[in-house]
Structure 1
Amino acid sequence: MASIKGQTVEQLGGEGSVLVRQRREHAEMDRLMDRCHLLTDPEEREQTLKEIVQLVFSHAFAEETVLWPLVRRSVPDGEELTARVEEEHQQINDLTSEIERLDPQDPEREEKVRRVFALIRQDIRDEEDQLLPRLQDALGPARLRRLGVAWETVRRSAPTHPHPAVPRRPPGNALLGVPLSAYDRLRDGVRSSTQMVGERAAFASSSGCSAPPQQPPW
């Protein structure tokens, strides 16, 4: 059983395969975490951390809704494998909730960020080395591509922040997660709009111009 990490796109079922989509997003998580470690500007670092959180939680919700139930039905030891990954997801969820409540200047927060990054990297390895290869063995390329479309559809409308009380399995995660997704995405949009207004005002101030009136971000 080979890890999906080193396989070609064709071996993974083609460009639309859920395995290709998963590996691509895992690589983006790794890239963003590496970037976050290197950044020294506090605002850039916070923005990158927000991007990581949004990516990780939408990704995990789609896994738990679309992929892991199929693994439990299709793979002999699927229950054990998914339970381990779900526990990792819960730990990431709980720790990220604590991070979001702490002030960016709090030294405890930085330690929690390091811990959550380590958990995310471990989760990626467990999925790519153990769980996803079992799914690959159980499904053909055409089904992997159909599953990729379903996974992507759910991911695009999934929550983007931690919600520790939401169950890890359907139907509970969908019943609670869908309303929270709308709230998360509204909150993300407000944050982005507020940041844009601030950047425009700072530019206008530095250039000696008055900033044009802005519409409220809600």
Structure 2
Amino acid sequence: MGHGGDVIDELTTDHREVADYFGQFHRAPPGSHDRKRLLDRLTVELVRHSVAEEQHLYPAVREHLPNGGKIADKELADHAQVEQMLKELEGMEPRDPAFDPTVRALQREVIAHIHDEESTLFVRMRRDCGEDTLWDLGEKVRTAKKTSPTRPHPGTPSTPPANRLVDPGIGMVDRARDLLTGRGR
């Protein structure tokens, strides 16, 4: 899918890609290597998306929206839960009895988060942020995704400024590991 536009367009495109990966996962034969490959690809996309939101979207939510701090804190808590599930899945193989139920739980959590962002948060962002702000955030999110980690790292900072300092270094290590192992292709 094409990326570009303001932050809402960018993140909505990510959401569609994530939903597509879940669909591909469920169409792959249970216990197959294809399921692990698709979960790896899904993980890469979810982590990159989450890191970019944590670095740029949620600070803007705090700044521009009424009760923005409360909203951002809820979104960060959602991300922490998803990241923990991704970490659990990272150590599982497709034939593990807990693998498919954990992916289904992950999907429920992610789809609920997507629905909440698209039906509430993005509507409020369009209403309360200027067009220039939304376009600037879109560029920042795209840039952040290029250097962000590709694997879950629960316990690393999820708010600026610490995440903006730590994430690119972790991302470089993750991408080197991915290159060596072929993960995420």
- 2:86 and 2:152 in contact (8 A); partners too: yes
- Tell me which residue corresponds to 1:10: none
User: Would you say how many aligned residue pairs link Structure 1 and Structure 2?
Assistant: 181
Higher Cα Rg, which structure: 1
- Secondary structure in structure 1 of the residue aligned to 2:124: helix
- Tell me which residue corresponds to 1:190: 180
Q: Match for 1:169 among 150, 159, 162?
A: 159
Q: What is the alpha-carbon distance in structure 2 between the residues aligned to residue 184 and residue 154 of structure 1?
A: 14
Q: What is the alpha-carbon distance in structure 1 between the residues aligned to residue 15 and residue 168 of structure 2?
A: 23
- Tell me which residue corresponds to 1:215: none
- Tell me which residue corresponds to 2:48: 58
Q: What is the alpha-carbon distance in structure 2 between the residues aligned to residue 145 and residue 70 of structure 1?
A: 12
- Offset, 1:104: 2.7
- Tell me which residue corresponds to 1:73: 63
- 1:82 and 1:131 in contact (8 A); partners too: no
Instruction: Tell me the alpha carbon deviations over residues 97-128 of structure 1, each in whole angstroms, 9 at most, x when there is no partner.
Output: 11111233210122111111111111111111
Q: List structure 1 runs of 4+ shifted beyond 3 angstroms.
A: none
Amino acid corresponding to residue 174 of structure 2 in structure 1: D
- Tell me which residue corresponds to 2:171: 181
Identity of aligned residues (%): 28
Instruction: Tell me the alpha carbon deviations over residues 78-102 of structure 1, each in whole angstroms, 9 at most, x when there is no partner.
Output: 1111111111100011111111112
Whether 1:123 aligns to 2:129 is no
Amino acid corresponding to residue 22 of structure 2 in structure 1: M
Q: Match for 1:104 among 81, 87, 94?
A: 94
Amino acid corresponding to residue 118 of structure 1 in structure 2: R
- 2:36 and 2:93 in contact (8 A); partners too: no
Q: Match for 1:16 among 5, 12, 30?
A: 5
Between stretches 178-187 and 39-48, larger displacement belongs to 39-48
Runs of 5+ consecutive residues of structure 1 not aligned to the other structure = 1-14, 197-218
TM-score (norm 1): 0.78
Q: Match for 1:145 among 92, 117, 135?
A: 135
- Secondary structure in structure 1 of the residue aligned to 2:88: helix
- Offset, 1:142: 2.9
- Offset, 1:172: 2.0
- Tell me which residue corresponds to 1:212: none
Runs of 5+ consecutive residues of structure 2 not aligned to the other structure = none
- Secondary structure in structure 2 of the residue aligned to 1:68: helix
Give the root-mean-square deviation of aligned CA atoms.
1.8
